[in-house]
Structure 1
Amino acid sequence: MNKAVDQAIAAGSCERLRIRNGSFSGNTAGLAPGNVQANLVILPKPLAHDFLRFAQANPKPCPVLAVSEPGDPRMPALGEDLDLRSDLPRYRVWRHGELVEEPLDLFHVWRDDLVSFALGCSFSFEQALIEDGIELRHITRGSNVPMYRTNIQCAPAGPFAGPLVVSMRPLHPRDAIRAIQITSRFPSVHGAPMHVSMPEAIGIKDLARPDYGDAVPVASDELPVFWACGVTPQAVIAQVRPDFCITHAPGSMLITDLRNTRMASL
């Protein structure tokens, strides 16, 4: 095992331990720089196959990194000491499509029939953008990235259907071009932007009022750049209304032991 891998495992384990023991409960953007972060969707086993088909039909917003065995809170492929019930800063519990609580752990709602899906997250490619000198406004401000429901519909699978959610980062045109080049190398964590400028063209009426996350200012000489987002399943869940479901809270991701460089295609 090389030094970079050892450092990634140590960084991921350290941040998960902080979260697990209650020392950290905020947004995970910028934590464990260089480590892959993941969105989380947890469903009863009868819905798991259809959700997997939905994710496969919509790889931009729902790139699958790992799937658990039923009832197993571990994902060994993503981390050695990892517990899905406690290692995210905040979760969302849904019943019949309604958000009913945002707990700090899942021990009180965990069931033996639950199948967990870890989906790629754009926080994973942000380190590559920062290393290239591109400012990311939400990280500079210490806030969550803004996310918006769009008028673009996902490809349906079984009962799962609904709108695409996007995250937005304001960039100068020269940085937007470079960001497209950089993020194109990371297809398993959303890849290149799916839209640039003109938010109204994808159904976004007001950038100052995100559906998830926190608004950030967009300067007059900047473009809003939109990436497909792993919060998409939450918009779908609200529409499909399954009896029971768990997701991460927006911005509160699973920090893995994997290096971002493993997600790069070039």
Structure 2
Amino acid sequence: MDTDIRFSDLTEQSVESVREHIRAGRYGGHTAGLSKGQLQCNLAILPADLAEDFLEFCRLNPKPCPLAGYSKPGQPFIERIGASVDIRTDTPLYFIYRNGELAGETRDLTDLWQDDFVAFAIGCSFTFENALVKAGFSLPHIEQNLTVPMFKSSIQTVPSKHFGGSMVVSMRPIPKDRIDEVRTISQGYPLAHGRPVHVGDPAEIGIKDVHSPDWGDAVNIRDGEVPVFWACGVTPQVAIMQAKPEISITHAPGAMLIADVDEQTLPLFPYDDSE
């Protein structure tokens, strides 16, 4: 594997350059703040016999699972987010699950790829963070080169046949006097989970310690700030662990697939469309 490159070396590079480093295996970290303006996606890869059921799970749960598109069986790309984006190599880090248990991680799926795999691209809250930064919000996980804190909440998803479980949420500290502004900005990004699902006391959604995330890194909540929680695309990982397929693959939390479409131009997947 080529020598790793640092996050700070990628922050001002083009999406093509960032993707080249990821594809070559030189970067395996988080993607928050990279390729500004590009849609970032969570990833779920399942055997074809579970694809229709997972598609239904996404339809039933558009907040945590805003679907950007999905592939045909065995096809290592999703046309709707860019046919040149290779599902097998262009995510910084993948998690491999066997029978619902995390069994390993890799930066390249080429040798694991199966002819019956169907890949799902699900919108990510990283997408609206660029808008928040432009509006003058301080996002400590980006400023400190951390992965956004994520928590398994007590909010339950709507189950499909095999998939269900708790909603995962991501947290960002926001000044109390700017909560309405954050709601308005994030509402404009339905593929990035839209408006927050909860503001304030973490215990109200089953989170015992906001400084001890289930995924990602803890960040400080300063005086005058409150924790704000968005639905998170790690939710499918919880659903997959419940379904226990023989094999499944997801992105590592925080390490997203960067699409070849603008973050504001792609609508939610049209479930009532024949595409």
Q: Give the TM interval when normalised to the shorter protein.
A: over 0.9
Cα distance change on mapping 1:264 and 1:239 into 2, 3 Å:
closer
Greater shift in the superposed pair: 170-179 or 136-145: 170-179
Deviation at 1:11, TM superposition (A): 3.1
Q: Counterpart of 1:180 in 2: which secondary structure?
A: helix
Q: Is residue 91 of structure 1 aligned with residue 91 of structure 2?
A: no
CA separation in 2, counterparts of 1:137 and 1:229? 18
Long gaps (5+) in structure 1? 1-9
Q: Is residue 181 of structure 1 aligned with residue 184 of structure 2?
A: yes
Q: Counterpart of 1:261 in 2: which secondary structure?
A: coil
The residue aligned with 1:205 is 208
Instruction: Give the 5 Å matches for 1:2-151.
Output: 11-151=14-154
TM-score calculated relative to the size of structure 2: 0.90
CA separation in 1, counterparts of 2:130 and 2:199? 20
The residue aligned with 2:228 is 225
Letter in 2 for 1:136: L
Letter in 2 for 1:198: D
The residue aligned with 1:194 is 197
Q: Counterpart of 1:102 in 2: which secondary structure?
A: strand
CA separation in 2, counterparts of 1:12 and 1:114? 26
The residue aligned with 2:174 is 171
Measured against aligned partners, the alpha-carbon deviations of 1:14-64 in whole angstroms (never above 9, x if no partner) come to 221110112222110011011110000000000000000000000000010
CA separation in 2, counterparts of 1:22 and 1:242? 27
The residue aligned with 1:159 is 162
Deviation at 1:205, TM superposition (A): 0.2
Q: How many residues align?
A: 256
Q: Counterpart of 2:79 in 1: which secondary structure?
A: coil
**C-alpha RMSD of the superposition:** 1.4
Q: Counterpart of 2:34 in 1: which secondary structure?
A: coil
Long gaps (5+) in structure 2? 1-12, 269-275
The ranges of structure 1 where at least 4 consecutive aligned residues each deviate by more than 4 angstroms after the TM superposition are: none
CA separation in 1, counterparts of 2:264 and 2:49? 35
Cα distance change on mapping 1:198 and 1:146 into 2, 3 Å:
same
Q: Counterpart of 1:60 in 2: which secondary structure?
A: coil
CA separation in 1, counterparts of 2:61 and 2:80? 22
Deviation at 1:115, TM superposition (A): 0.3
Letter in 1 for 2:37: G
**Are 2:85 and 2:260, in contact at CA under 8 Å, matched by a contact in 1?**
no
**Are 2:152 and 2:207, in contact at CA under 8 Å, matched by a contact in 1?**
yes
**Are 1:164 and 1:232, in contact at CA under 8 Å, matched by a contact in 2?**
yes
Deviation at 1:99, TM superposition (A): 0.2
CA separation in 1, counterparts of 2:83 and 2:105? 26
Q: Counterpart of 2:121 in 1: which secondary structure?
A: strand
Greater shift in the superposed pair: 144-153 or 213-222: 213-222
2:248 to 245, 249, 253: 245
Q: Counterpart of 1:40 in 2: which secondary structure?
A: strand
Letter in 2 for 1:257: D
CA separation in 2, counterparts of 1:198 and 1:264? 32
CA separation in 2, counterparts of 1:34 and 1:194? 24
Deviation at 1:137, TM superposition (A): 1.2
**Are 1:166 and 1:228, in contact at CA under 8 Å, matched by a contact in 2?**
yes
Letter in 1 for 2:60: A
